[in-house]
Amino acid sequence: MKHTISVEVENRFGILARIASLFSARGFNIDSLAVGETEDPTISCITMVVPGDDQIIEQVIKQLRKLIDVIKVVDLTQQDAVERELVLVKVNAKRTDRAEIMRIVDIFRARILDVHPFSFTIETTGTEEKIKGILTLLKPFGIKKLVRTGKIALSREGKTG
């Protein structure tokens, strides 16, 4: 099962290398990783999606907590949390397909950021399911390029762990 793990760390040189080193040394995998500053500039938040059974996830969390520069680790999968990911996708857009693609963009409340005679660049944010949904519908037109930020997440107010 995939777990979304939120890791608050000291906003310090080398912390990402420490975490990467931990994951490679212990043989843990990471599906996605998003890093950024929090409301407190001395603290960064790393949101990672980690696959593994319960025993592996337990070790991942404990090993992360053991790093000296790690302040807090929360498994957001265990609680009610809001999750979002942003995706940029460049999709083939022939004249005959344009109306259809724009309809899909509308339905998913995505946006077209760049228009080219043969392609659209589309921005979409949402949960994993929503992104999977729009990508499935865009795929038949031919996806030329795709980048994603990796998931970020926050627990809902009043239900913090």
Cα angle at 45 between 145 and 85, to 5 degrees?
A: 30
Q: Which is nearer to other proteins, 23 or 141 (CB)?
A: 23
Contact flag: residue 22 with other proteins (CB under 8 A): yes
Contact flag: residue 35 with other proteins (CB under 8 A): no
Q: How far is the CB of 23 from other proteins (least distance, A)?
A: 10
For residues 105, 108, 111, 114, the Cα torsion angle rounded to the nearest 10 degrees is -40
Contact residue for other proteins among 1, 21, 146, 156 (CB under 8 A) = 21
CA gap 55, 49 in Å, rounded: 16
Contact flag: residue 38 with other proteins (CB under 8 A): no
Contact in structure between 71 and 10 (CB atoms under 8 Å): yes
Contact flag: residue 70 with other proteins (CB under 8 A): yes
Instruction: Kindly list the residues in this chain that would bind other proteins in the complex (CB under 8 A).
Output: 9-10, 13-14, 17-18, 21-22, 25, 55, 58-59, 62-63, 65-72
